[in-house]
Amino acid sequence: MEENKTLYTITIFSENTVGVLNQITTIFTRRQLNIETLSVSPSAIKGIHKFTITTFSDDENVMKKLVSLIDKRVDILKAYYNTNEDLVHQELALYKLSTEKVLAHGSIEYLVRKYNVRILEVSTDCVVFLKAGHYEETQGLFEELAESIGVLQFVRSGRIAITKSKVERLSDMLAKRERENQEKWGNA
Amino acid sequence: MMNKNNQTPETISSPEKREQETEIISGSEILIRSLIAEGADTLFGYPGGAIMPVFDALYDHKHEIKHILVRHEQGAVHAAQGYARVSQKVGVALVTSGPGATNTITGITDAMMDSTPMVVISGQVASSLLGSDAFQEADVIGVTQPITKWVYQIRRVEDIAWAVSKAFYIASSGRPGPVVLDIAKDAQVNKCAYSYQKTIFLRSYLPEPEIEDDQIRMAADLINNAKKPLALVGHGVVLGNAEEELRAFLEKADIPFGSTILGLSAMPTDHPLNFGMLGMHGNVAPNMMTNQCDVLIAIGMRFDDRVTGDLNTYAKQAKVIHFDIDPAEINKNVKTTVKVSGNAKKTLPMVIALLKEQSHAAWLSEFKPYEQKEFDCIIKNELYPENGGEIKMGEVVHKVTEATHNKAVCVTDVGQHQMMSTRYFKFTESRSMVTSGGLGTMGFGLPAGIGAKYGAPERTVCIFVGDGGLQMTMQELGTIMEYDIDVKIILLNNNYLGMVRQWQELFFDERYSETHLKNPDFIKVADAYNIKGRKVTQRSELDEAIAEMLAHKGAYLLEVVVETKGMVYPMIPSGGSVTNILLGNGNKL
């Protein structure tokens, strides 16, 4: 966490074309913004991809400019930013532990209950935990495991998020644009 | 990956038309026919291995589409820019892969900075070789993405027609800009059915933002209540063809204005409300009044740092109205009170309808003392030197513009001569100023002038260049020779990289590091290209030499040996306040 800076979550919808991520990251680079997390996947609308990116900034105006520069790209349908208060957000983390050390630990049940851990895999060599949550929660489990058992491998996904206040209006926006285009040009 | 099969949400097309025109032809043939369908009549280009099939197809279309063989790919893009800037059309450059494509980078960046509609078509190695470091392969998409409005790599013949259609639509609509199409060689050679539909809609792209009525109303209210309004006229007015609307707007509310370098010819130089150029070497009055006006009205301009100087002291007293087609420009540099999003051609008439007729005689009279001061301290001696001495750049520009009755297209390179041209050339019609504004590209002038002549063949094209910049793209004299292009080249030779030398004199203790040039005999160079030339060293010869140049049929190089250590004043030092204006020679405001 960076001091005196706010974590912003930027949501972007784009056409599914080659090189969109490059277009987006270039804009971050030019504004000297460091990407904290990144998650990309197909959206609810076929052919449209959704990017969720987090970045720290001490100035909301920088976010306004960033989003307008991203929105301006031809292949981008829509871009906006939010702070944590506006969002329900989640990250996933995977933890690989030595089976031998897990068995020797003695209070695994306590950890599983405390952190609401799911166990994905148990073999003679390793156990894999999955934890979904905010950064602080996945980090908390990591620190506790690292101290008590030792973590062989650890990975955390980028943030995914949905807004609390409003419905995603992308489909409405697209319908409006298509309608206006029809009105303007007919079927010519 | 988009392809022809799923283009329906993107382009609206007529099924009947598609059936009529189906014909199986090569990708290269499709490319040429698509360009013709978009109204392209002139291409600037240079062949090479990966674009040869296209040049071969071009051979059969010589009478429908002209190709100008430049001498370096940088020349092709600058020529396409010059063509676009004077003609309202999209400039087109055609080059090969690898070095051919990378040689276009400067021109593409320049077009991006100056919002110039241009399509650059580069050949690419065969799709099977992509990513293998094949001969003359360069990652053109990766390199050009940050400096273009849109780029697309065409790997299949089926994608050529719609990609060209999309490219022209994107380049020319909204805020214009450069587009790159990178076409793999196999896509040029393979065959498929051809039919062409113009793109008129892309769901992900809104060329012009929606106009909001309350913004229009708020802008009109502010202007109606303004006592000291000042307008800043930018390139957006020219790009939007909104010159008449602008004139009506300014005249109805009696608003004085200054122009950015790219907005200069939007209004006639002698219009009574025109107080000249803004910015670092602009006129004193509009710069000073920026910090005295009560309402600042920016129209199609982007508050570049060369216009504003230090933003912390820029127009802090004023309410700011910003007309722009690009929402990303609003509040980018200057905090806006009222934004008016949209094309000025549409928004200005909406505001005009709500404006009261006004007269700001008292406010206008406040500009006069600054104009007089600038004339007395700077202009008088620059244009009408009385005490003999070396020829001055300003007086040459002044004599040329007068001799053309202020009707010529003024093309410039970059540096001192550029600032002298923008300060002293006069305009009577729009699209007459072709210069590299945002990027400041030395070497722009000569090839851009070639393009301008093709874009406006009936007009006189005067290219002002310095001895530094001319030598950056001097090989284009070969193009001028080959096609007998009637451009008037005015070389203002001070044997220095003059603008850098000026900064060294002012800010680097007169340490003239690497700015003096040992130059060739330019007249002999011109002669080698069979271009008529004349060197002038005496003031007494100047009028007659200019008359000879303008009367000459065909290209002409007029070299004028000017003051070696001339200075461009006024000058706002970089990063200084817009009112911190140096007048030179010990003069103070």
Nearest-neighbour CA in chain A from B244: distance (Å): 25
What is B96-158 written as a DSSP string? Answer: -STHHHHTTHHHHHHHHHTT--EEEEEEE--GGGTTS--TT---HHHHHGGGSSEEEEE-SGG
The predicted complex's ipTM stands at 0.90
Distance in angstroms (rounded) separating the CA atoms of residues B185 and B160: 12
CA distance B2 to chain A (A): 6
Beta strand B229-233 with B191-193: parallel, antiparallel or unpaired? unpaired
In this predicted structure, what is the pLDDT of residue A4?
A: 86
| Residue from B150, B151, B168, B203 to probe the interface with A (highest A Cβ count within 10 Å) | B203
Which of A168-172, B2-6, B53-57 is modeled with the greatest confidence?
B53-57
Ordered structural domains, chain B, with CATH: 4-193 (3.40.50.970), 213-365 (3.40.50.1220), 391-561 (3.40.50.970)
pLDDT at B4: 41
pLDDT at residue number B3: 43
Measured between CA atoms, the residue of chain B closest to residue A75 is B204
Are B6 and A47 an interchain contact pair (Cβ–Cβ within 8 Å)? yes
Within 8 A of B149 by CB-CB distance, chain A residues are: 74
CATH class assigned to A88-160: alpha beta
Beta carbons of A96 and A152 less than 8 angstroms apart: yes
Q: How many CA atoms lie within 13 A of B316 on its CB side?
A: 9
pLDDT tens, position by position, B15-46: 445 555 578 999 999 999 999 999 999 999 99
Catalytic residue selected from B29, B38, B73, B137: B73
d(CA B447, CA B449): 5
> Residue B5: phi, psi to the nearest 5?
-70, -30
Tally C-beta pairs within 8 A across A and B: 65
For the sheet with A48-57, list strands across it: A35-42, A48-57, A6-15, A76-83
Q: Mutate one of A18, A46, A74, A78 to test the B interface: name it (highest B CB count within 10 A).
A: A74
- Percent helix, strand, coil in chain B, to 5, is 40, 15, 40
Residue B185 designated active-site: yes
Nearest to A22 among B142, B206, B330 (CB): B142
Kind plus residue range of the DSSP H or E element containing A46:
none
CA closest to B9 among chain A residues: A178
DSSP secondary-structure letter at B355? P
Q: Are A129 and A151 in contact (CB under 8 A)?
A: no
Kindly report, residue by residue over B541-585, the tens digit of the pLDDT: 999 999 999 999 999 999 999 999 999 999 999 999 999 999 998
Pairing of strands B24-26, B191-193: antiparallel
Average pLDDT, chain B: 95
- Phi-psi bin for B254: left (phi > 0), alpha (psi -120 to 50), beta? left
- State pLDDT tens for residues A99-157: 999 999 888 899 999 999 999 999 999 999 999 999 999 999 999 999 999 999 999 99
Q: What is the pLDDT of residue B347?
A: 98
Which member of B145, B326, B332 has the closest CB to residue A23? B145
CA dist B282 and B324 (Å) reads 22
| In chain A, residues 44-73 whose CB comes closer than 8 Å to chain B | 47, 61, 64-65, 68-69, 71-72
Tell me how far apart the alpha carbons of residues B301 and B248 are, in angstroms, rounded to a whole number.
Answer: 19
C-alpha B272, offset from chain centre: 25
Residue B1 has pLDDT above 50, yes or no: no
Nearest Cβ partner for A17 among B2, B170, B206: B2
Neighbours of A59 (CB within 10 A): 10
Report which of A178, A184, A188, A186 is spatially closest to residue B14, judged by C-alpha positions. A188
Considering only CB atoms, A181 lies closest to which of B12, B145, B204, namely: B12
Give the residue-averaged pLDDT of A38-63: 95
Q: For residue A113, count other CB atoms closer than 10 A to its CB.
A: 9
Q: Which amino acid is at A87?
A: L
Lowest mean pLDDT among A144-158, A170-184, B420-434: A170-184
Q: Is a pLDDT exceeding 70 seen at residue B61?
A: yes
B331 sits in the region (left: phi over 0; alpha: psi -120 to 50; else beta) called left
Alpha helices of B335-415 — where are they, by DSSP H? 344-352, 361-365, 368-374, 380-383, 393-403
Q: Taking CB atoms and an 8 Å limit, are A64 and B331 in contact across chains? A: yes
Asked if A185's CB is within 8 angstroms of B201's CB, the reply is yes
Q: So what's the pLDDT on residue B43?
A: 98
Q: Do strands A87-98 and A160-163 pair parallel, antiparallel, or not at all (unpaired)?
A: antiparallel
- Which of A7-16, B3-12, B55-64, B209-218 shows the lowest mean pLDDT across its residues? B3-12
Indicate if the pLDDT at residue A187 is higher than 70.
no
Q: Please give the Cα distance from B250 to B273 (Å, whole number).
A: 8
Is A41's Cβ below 8 Å from some Cβ in B? no
The pLDDT score that the predictor gives to residue B12 is 45
Within 13 A of A144's CA, how many CA atoms are on the CB side? 16
Cβ-in-10-Å burial (0-12, 13-18, 19+) of B55 comes to buried
Domain pair A6-87+163-168 / A88-160, same fold: yes
What are the residue ranges spanned by the domains of chain A? 6-87+163-168, 88-160
Q: Is the pLDDT of residue B2 over 60?
A: no
Taking alpha carbons only, the member of B541, B493, B534 closest to residue B517 is B493
**Residue A19 at interface with chain B, using a CB cutoff of 8 Å:** yes
Q: Where are the alpha helices (DSSP H) in B190-240?
A: 213-225, 235-239
- Dihedral sign, Cα of residue B16, residue B20, residue B23, residue B28: negative
Q: How confident is the model at residue B5 (pLDDT cuts 50, 70, 90)?
A: very low
Which of B364, B329, B322 is CA-nearest to residue B347? Answer: B322
What b/e string do you get for A83-94 counting C-beta neighbours within 10 Å, with b at 16 or more?
eeebbebebbbb
Q: What architecture (CATH level 2) is domain A6-87+163-168?
A: 2-Layer Sandwich (3.30)
Q: What is the pLDDT of residues B253-279, one digit of tens each?
A: 999 999 999 999 999 999 999 999 999
Tell me the pLDDT band of A184, cut-offs 50, 70 and 90. confident
In angstroms, the CA B114 to CA B249 distance is 24
Q: What residues contact A46, with CB distance under 8 A and at least 6 apart?
A: none
Return the pLDDT at B528: 98
B135 is catalytic: yes
B203: which chain A residues are within 8 Å (Cβ-Cβ)?
77, 174, 177-178
**B332: nearest CB among A65, A74, A77:** A65
Q: Which two tokens stand for residue B76?
A: 């092709």
**Active-site entry in B277, B289, B419, B499:** B499
Predicted pLDDT of residue B214: 97
Q: How far is A178 from chain B (nearest CA, A)?
A: 7
Pairing status of strand B191-193 against strand B409-412: unpaired
Digit-coded pLDDT (tens) for B176-203:
999 999 999 999 999 999 999 999 999 9
Catalytic residue, from B21, B23, B64, B135: name it. Answer: B135
Peptide bond into B369 cis (omega under 30): no
- Return the pLDDT at B120: 98
Per annotation, catalytic residue among B149, B185, B319, B345: B185
Q: Does A185 touch chain B (CB under 8 A)?
A: yes
Starting from the edge strand earliest in sequence, which strands make up the sheet with B257-259, in order? B274-277, B257-259, B229-233, B295-299, B319-324, B338-341
Q: Which two tokens stand for residue B293?
A: 């006006």
B2, B14, B328 member nearest A68 (Cβ): B328
CB contact under 8 A, B200 and A181: yes
Q: Is A183 on the interface with B (CB under 8 A)?
A: no
The CA distance from B531 to the nearest CA of chain A, in Å, is 44
Selecting from A15, A74, A178 the residue whose C-beta is nearest the C-beta of B170 gives: A74
Among A49, A69, A72, the residue to mutate for chain B (most B Cβ within 10 A): A72
Selected residue with higher pLDDT from A169 and B509: B509
Query: Is A181 an interface residue toward B (CB < 8 Å)?
Result: yes
For chain A, give percent helix, strand, coil, nearest 5. Answer: 40, 35, 25
Q: Find the largest Cα–Cα distance for chain B.
A: 76
Residue with tokens 């065409």: B154
Confidence of residue B13 (pLDDT cuts 50, 70, 90): very low
B55 carries an active-site annotation: no
Predicted confidence (pLDDT) per residue in B347-363, tens digit: 999 999 999 999 999 99
Q: Pick from B499, B412, B397, B422: which is nearest to B464 by CA?
A: B412
pLDDT average, residue stretch A15-37 = 94
> How distant is the Cα of A32 from the closest Cα of chain B, in angstroms?
15
Contacts of B145 in chain A (CB under 8 A): 19, 22-23, 26
Which residues, 6 or more positions from B443, have their beta carbon under 8 angstroms from its beta carbon? B74, B78, B106, B413, B469, B472, B473
